[in-house]
Structure 1
Amino acid sequence: NYPFPERAVASLGAMYRYWSWTQQPETEIETFDMDKEAVSKLFANIRSEGRNTIGDAEAQDILKAYGIVTPQSTVAATPDEAVAYANKIGYPVVMKIASPDILHKSDVGGIIVGVDSDQAIREGFDTLIQRAKEHRPDAVIWGCQIQEMVQDAREIIIGMNRDPQFGPLVMFGLGGIYVEVLKDVAFRVAPMSRSQAGDLVKAIRSYALLTGVRGQAPSDLDAVVDTILRVAQLVTDFPEIAELDINPLLVREQGQGAVAVDMRLILTA
């Protein structure tokens, strides 16, 4: 018995969704030929240093090993190195503090975007180092990461938490206010098929924004699904990954791909 009709309707809705799920045809889990050895070596090096956290500068190598597109990037130990690399890839660039002890760079003012000149690079380098030392005087600082600035793209977040009962749960949502304020995210268990990854994308309330509204061009959903599948395989291949966040994944217009701009990863203790 239900005291209110709304509860009965909600129960019927849940039953229908479960029935619909049971009627879905079995789909093949999609896998890719990845460089697992490179990731294993990196994890071993991290462990040997007594660490279990991996920030963006190191995580770029993991993403590349699993075929996930990343921006051009390097860690510069000096302002001169930073200027030379920025001129190599072209302005504007993004500057980030490079430290294994600072995962959340924005919390310490460790990111500067839109840097567009040699002088701004030198000033930004000194500023980032100073901010890092003020907030984390004990942190190991490698220098500054100089990264290609990806423009005209929509922010996406892809994450993973490992549930003790269900295993790796892959999270998907739009970045910025949609995840921080509205909590508009969806989860699926990894590994998954291409159709299941597509369903994960469609499960968020703000999905329509990705398809193009009010004259906006649709985002490259194929690239988003492909990235989700590669993340799902990564966390399945390496059960020692406890948490993972790609935030943001910058998605361009349809047919133009997606770029993983920042990632952090935590290994099991």
Structure 2
Amino acid sequence: MDRIVKEALSVGRKVLVEPEAKEVLRLASFPLPRSKAVKDVAGAIDAAREIGFPVALKLISPDIMHKSDAGGVFLNIMDEQEIEEKWSQIILGVADDYPTALIEGFLIEEMVKKGAEVIIGCVRDEQFGPAVMFGIGGVTVELMKDVSFRLAPITREEAFEMMGEVKGFPILTGYRGQTVKDLDAIADALIKLGDIVGRIEGIKEFEINPLIVHERGAVVADARAVLR
């Protein structure tokens, strides 16, 4: 894990792009969808065939952290022609809106089964150290500000307290006939993320958004990290 952060810092980067952030999480035993980073359309098509349609196509750029806002993410791509179309659409959009952005490639990723979306993060405060964050996730979290915090490292009891403190908690516990989600999987993720940031001094912020939670288990759909 330290090696990934040190290599990024050694070339002057202050962020981990999605494949790097997910590799850190993989080494910490987080559940992840199958994926492959590619450099061209032919590689994207080969990766999609290997993984199996439908797939997600995601921009990899250290200069564009919020890929969805930049039109850099397409989900549920069903065939090779659509990969070519969406690839061109992203390239043209970035050229127009972010002309100086470095495009390192694209990520082809299997689609994750729908579930409840939560956000978990960890931010390093220079005075108090790492603080773990939990909220109901997806693109609405910045609008709703419905999050809770604890200083890391956290216990399992504290992880469950964090979940219970957000207004959206009923979404995870069977609200309006929905299935009850795996709260233990969320607790595991919160504890492990706090441990990662506490251990790796070079990380300033780490965010998983969303963590998609099912009746059993949870899968990291997207991740990013900011370095010190």
The answer as to 2:211 corresponding to 1:249 is: yes
Local SS of the residue matching 1:105:
coil
Larger Cα Rg: Structure 1 or Structure 2? 1
Task: Give the match for residue 143 of structure 1.
Answer: 105
Aligned to 2:50: 88
* 1:29-84 Cα deviation digits (max 9, x unpaired): xxxxxxxxxx1111111111111111212211111011111111111111111111
Tell me the distance in 2 between the aligned counterparts of 1:195 and 1:241: 25
Structure 1 266/251 Cα, relative in aligned 2: closer, same or farther at 3 Å? same
1:49 equivalenced with 2:21 (yes/no) = no
Given that residues 91 and 115 in structure 1 are in contact (C-alpha distance below 8 angstroms), is that contact kept between their aligned partners in structure 2?
yes
Q: Does 1:221 align with 2:221?
A: no
Match of 1:258 in 2: 218
RMSD between aligned alpha carbons? 1.4
Q: Is the 8 A contact 1:54 1:103 kept in 2?
A: no
CA distance in 2, matches of 1:155, 1:161: 20
Instruction: Flag the 1:99–1:194 CA change in 2: closer, same or farther, 3 A.
Output: same
**Greater RCO, CA 8 A, separation 6+:** 2
Q: 1:143 to 1:176 in 2, by over 3 A?
A: closer
Residues 1:97 and 1:63: Cα distance change in structure 2 (over 3 Å): same
Consecutive unaligned residues in structure 1, runs of 5 or more: 1-38
TM-score, with structure 2 as normaliser: 0.95
Residue range with higher mean Cα deviation, 131-140 or 259-268 = 131-140
The aligned residue for residue 122 of structure 1 is 84
Instruction: Report the secondary structure of 1:45's partner residue.
Output: helix
TM-score, normalising length: structure 1: 0.81
Q: Give distance in 2, aligned partners of 1:247 and 1:267.
A: 17
- Count the aligned residue pairs: 228
> Structure 1 residue 246: deviation in Å?
0.7
Give the structure 1 partner of residue 114 of structure 2. Answer: 152
Matches within 5 A, 1:102-113: 102-113=64-75
Measured after TM superposition, the shift of residue 224 of structure 1 is 0.6
Gaps of 5+ in 2: none
1:238 and 1:177 map into 2 onto residues whose CA distance is 27
- Check whether the contact 1:97–1:132 (CA below 8 A) recurs between aligned residues: no
Distance in structure 1 (CA, Å) of the matches to 2:17 and 2:220: 13
Higher strand share: 2
Change (3 A) 1:138 1:73: same
In 1, the alpha carbon distance for the partners of 2:42 and 2:183 equals 39
CA distance in 1, matches of 2:179, 2:63: 39
Distance in 2, Cα, partners of 1:183 & 1:40: 31
Alpha-carbon offset, residue 178 of structure 1: 5.5
| Correspondence for 2:201 among 239, 245, 261 | 239
Give a deviation string over 1:181-233, Cα, whole Å, max 9, x none: 32111001100111111211112122122111222110111111111111011
CA contact (8 A) 2:6 2:202 kept: no
